[in-house]
Amino acid sequence: MGFLLPGFLIAGAVLAGVPLAIHLLNRRRYRVVDFAAMQFLMAAVRQNRRRLQLREWLLLAARIAAVALMGFALARPISCNSSGSGGIGGQAATLQVLVVDDTYSMGATGKNGSALGEMKKLLAGLIGKMRPGVDEVAIVRVARPVQISLAPTYDLQQALQQIEAITIRQTPGDLTGAIALATQIASGEKGVARRRMYVASDLTAGTWALAEAGRRDQLSQAVSAAAAACNAGIDIIGTTPLRSRHVALTELAVGEASGSAAGGWAGGRGMVTTNTPLAVEVTARAGAAGAAGAGGTGGTGGLSTKVEVDIEVDGKPLASGLATLKPAPDGRLTAEVPIGVLPPASGGGGHLITASLVGEDPLALDRSRSITVQIPDAVRVLVVEGDRGGDSRPSSGSFVSLALSPRAATTRPGRDPFRTESVADIALPSARLEEYGVVVLADVTPPDATTVARLDRFVRAGGLVVNLLGEHLAAAIGPAGKGRNAILSLVPGNVTQLVQAAGAGSSGDVTAGRLIDFSPTGNVHPLLGAFAGVQRTGLESTPVFKYWRVERTAAAGPGIAASLGEPVLNLLADKDGHKDPLLLAERRGNGAIITCTAPLGGEEWTTLQARPAFVPLVQELVRNALPDLSARWNILAGESVVLSRLERMVGTPTLIGPLPKTDRIEFESGPIDAASTQPTQEGGSAMTEQAGVRSAAVPVAGLYQLTGLGEARTVAVNLLAWPEADLRALEEPELRTLLAVGSPSSGGSSLRFHAATVPEVVGNGAATAGSGGRDWTMAALLFVIGLLAMESWLAQRPDL
């Protein structure tokens, strides 16, 4: 026996207690009458006691049964005829769990229309074969978050409606999670004799052939668990494979155009300004046509590598043309589309850049991406000098200033991406740090704690501090190494001593100092990625004579970042085996700190500033270390927009879109996550700017308007296109291999594959054919009417 609307059954069971409650209540509510003719009354009671009790119980039972049966009737009882649950028709009640692939690859269109449309028809046909009252249906959807679209029900009509209502979702798929959830449903459903699972999908490599081996193992384990839970097996229903090529735009970046950077080394995607010749780097992935094996994962599959790309800036077409996709070892195809310097009218600030692949393709959804970027006119750099120099002696920050804005001293001012300003360290407490993007501390006198705290806030809010340690740091450490100044909290490690380098040079010359451990063909730090493979930069031959030894220990003290990355540059190990860092980088809040253990301005410390690599080294460090504050305005479908606490205080943020729609996405306040709290000097923890508000997950890609922060911002929401865009269709042998199940002949019979066909619901040796179960609703209602009539008859005849 099953119920189409089990909620009424529960309601009936609950309400059945009402007549009993009324009965008991009435027994407590009576009036008291003094009576004289008690002898007649008592005689009447004695004579009729049994009759009255019987009548009372009959009435009560009739009322309770009527209410309970009404709930039973409204629950739409249908006999299951289950052999497993004592049915009478010889049919086994079966739970049919449908796992429906609703990832966006199902939107791919082939000869038979979209894969989703074809899948709906297949599933409608499947449900049409199910037996009312015998087959119980549940539906689970694959796209994240994995969700139960329909809890187990015998209402096949409702199941059909749910199937028809399915639309693709743009969040990544989680086939493993969906199968696990379906298994959980199958295991938890009692009262059914058989359990069967159907996985309806386009069987694309993007959904099934998971890139990581660990995830593949999890999928295999989930299928094994499902096979164990479903005694009637698992059916994998595939839609018709696509036979056309699909190229998806999977990444989009804006950077400096190749060959345009000063110094002549290969440009990167570092910081750009309105004066920077820009290029849009598009990354595409191609799902080769046909079944897997016909082409590889990614790559071009032997097809043309030319794609036509349209570029829009702030909604206006800026460039269009053919781009040549270059395959990378990891399967990505990248192409750089130069767009030049932004039009003067664009100005500095936030810009929206959209790239679209032009041409016919079976799946249009992932052919376009947008990105919001901050392109300033120039980044203002405040160089704070502890030594202002004099006469022929340069100041402590002069070389860095020159490296950041080398053209400032030439006849072509205004082309530098950095605009430097130098001040003495005594002016640091009064400087308006929020007006700068970078603060360079060039051997400054240790400032007071308040100033250090301001610097810390500056960094956490998204600024970059370049801290060049010099002789003034000795005052911070103290003569005997006792007492620590707050400035040390900006150093990602424990400053222990001033090292006079000697005897560490590759030549063994004591006066040569220690050399930088740099190899352009080795493991180059990401901040210096532009130096990878570039020979004769001079870095590897630069001696360092003096430096502050920084021991990078996690227990360095409060204020030290919990996660320290590898040093950007190390010095070669000395004779005692010390391998001290020369350059350190630390992410702190939204910003970063770069620490150089030796000042770059004094020749007694190092000769780095005289090397050809000096200018690009400084620029590359600063460009790549400058935080990309635009990142949080570029999210993926399914992610949230995170705002800082300070931003939250400006107003009530509202996310509207995807434009031109006006759907509103709400924000929820509170700490974002555990990492958003930072230790304080007092040893406690305090909310930082990271602790703020998070929007609900944005489910649909597109452009959104974020209002309520003083100025409107555009949030670009893109698809996580890869690997979902890999539309290569997998066939049964490959799927069996992936799922680690054998062929039917080798015992893998619990897994059945159906290529664009509807499997038989009845069969597989467990059930016998027959008509559906019987609907007992009318019978129950008639019984209720009979009970009510009996109750009324009894109530109207007290003498009975």
Binding site for other proteins (CB under 8 A): 26-27, 29-45, 47-48, 52, 55-56, 798-799
CA 43 to chain centroid, in Å, comes to 83
User: Which residue, 25 or 649, is less far from other proteins as judged by CB?
Assistant: 25
Considering the complex, what minimum distance in angstroms separates the CB of residue 30 from other proteins? 4
| E strand or H helix that includes residue 650 | helix 645-650
| Residues facing 3 on adjacent strands | 77
User: Which residue, 44 or 554, is less far from other proteins as judged by CB?
Assistant: 44
> Cα(189)–Cα(148) distance, rounded to whole angstroms?
14
Considering the complex, what minimum distance in angstroms separates the CB of residue 26 from other proteins? 6
Contact status, residue 550 vs residue 494, Cβ threshold 8 Å: yes
Q: Which of 479, 495, 498 minimizes the C-alpha distance to 487?
A: 495
Considering the complex, what minimum distance in angstroms separates the CB of residue 37 from other proteins? 4
State the DSSP string of 589-604.
TTEEEEEESS-SS-TT
Considering the complex, what minimum distance in angstroms separates the CB of residue 58 from other proteins? 12
Contact status, residue 120 vs residue 201, Cβ threshold 8 Å: no
User: Which residue, 48 or 497, is less far from other proteins as judged by CB?
Assistant: 48
Considering the complex, what minimum distance in angstroms separates the CB of residue 51 from other proteins? 9
18 token code pair:
């009402």
Q: Residue type for 797, please?
A: R
User: Which residue, 40 or 215, is less far from other proteins as judged by CB?
Assistant: 40
Q: How many residues does the chain have?
A: 800
User: Which residue, 31 or 111, is less far from other proteins as judged by CB?
Assistant: 31
Considering the complex, what minimum distance in angstroms separates the CB of residue 190 from other proteins? 44
Considering the complex, what minimum distance in angstroms separates the CB of residue 11 from other proteins? 29
User: Which residue, 48 or 304, is less far from other proteins as judged by CB?
Assistant: 48
Considering the complex, what minimum distance in angstroms separates the CB of residue 28 from other proteins? 9
558 cis-preceded (ω within 30 degrees of 0): no
User: Which residue, 45 or 696, is less far from other proteins as judged by CB?
Assistant: 45
Considering the complex, what minimum distance in angstroms separates the CB of residue 5 from other proteins? 38
| Residues facing 173 on adjacent strands | 143
User: Which residue, 14 or 42, is less far from other proteins as judged by CB?
Assistant: 42
Q: What is the CA radius of gyration of the chain?
A: 37
Considering the complex, what minimum distance in angstroms separates the CB of residue 36 from other proteins? 4
CA 186 to chain centroid, in Å, comes to 29
> Cα(83)–Cα(346) distance, rounded to whole angstroms?
75
User: Which residue, 31 or 575, is less far from other proteins as judged by CB?
Assistant: 31
For residue 522, the tally of other CB atoms under 10 A from its CB is 9
490 token code pair:
């900006």
> Cα(798)–Cα(791) distance, rounded to whole angstroms?
11
Considering the complex, what minimum distance in angstroms separates the CB of residue 785 from other proteins? 25
User: Which residue, 47 or 324, is less far from other proteins as judged by CB?
Assistant: 47
Contact status, residue 163 vs residue 120, Cβ threshold 8 Å: yes
CA 479 to chain centroid, in Å, comes to 51
User: Which residue, 38 or 322, is less far from other proteins as judged by CB?
Assistant: 38
CA 46 to chain centroid, in Å, comes to 79
User: Which residue, 42 or 88, is less far from other proteins as judged by CB?
Assistant: 42
Which residues, 6 or more positions from 29, have their beta carbon under 8 angstroms from its beta carbon? none
Considering the complex, what minimum distance in angstroms separates the CB of residue 161 from other proteins? 51
219: three-class secondary structure by DSSP: helix
Contact status, residue 546 vs residue 501, Cβ threshold 8 Å: yes
Considering the complex, what minimum distance in angstroms separates the CB of residue 55 from other proteins? 7
Considering the complex, what minimum distance in angstroms separates the CB of residue 23 from other proteins? 11
User: Which residue, 228 or 795, is less far from other proteins as judged by CB?
Assistant: 795
State the DSSP string of 276-331.
SPEEEEEEEEEE-SSBTTSS-BSS-TTS--EEEEEEEETTEEEEEEEEE-EE-TTS
Q: Which of 415, 310, 416, 421 minimizes the C-alpha distance to 370?
A: 310
User: Which residue, 31 or 190, is less far from other proteins as judged by CB?
Assistant: 31
Which residues, 6 or more positions from 553, have their beta carbon under 8 angstroms from its beta carbon? 493, 494
| Residues facing 679 on adjacent strands | 685
State the DSSP string of 489-538.
GGSSSEEEEEEE--S-STT--GGG-EEEE--TTS---GGGGGGTT----S
User: Which residue, 23 or 549, is less far from other proteins as judged by CB?
Assistant: 23
Considering the complex, what minimum distance in angstroms separates the CB of residue 19 from other proteins? 16
> Cα(405)–Cα(413) distance, rounded to whole angstroms?
9
Considering the complex, what minimum distance in angstroms separates the CB of residue 792 from other proteins? 14
696 token code pair:
């609900």
Q: Which of 646, 649, 652 minimizes the C-alpha distance to 667?
A: 652
* CA dist 418 → 404, 436, 606, 770 (Å): 6, 10, 24, 81
Q: Which of 693, 737, 728 minimizes the C-alpha distance to 248?
A: 728
Considering the complex, what minimum distance in angstroms separates the CB of residue 781 from other proteins? 30
User: Which residue, 37 or 778, is less far from other proteins as judged by CB?
Assistant: 37
| E strand or H helix that includes residue 273 | none
In which residue are the tokens 């005849």 written? Answer: 797
User: Which residue, 26 or 535, is less far from other proteins as judged by CB?
Assistant: 26
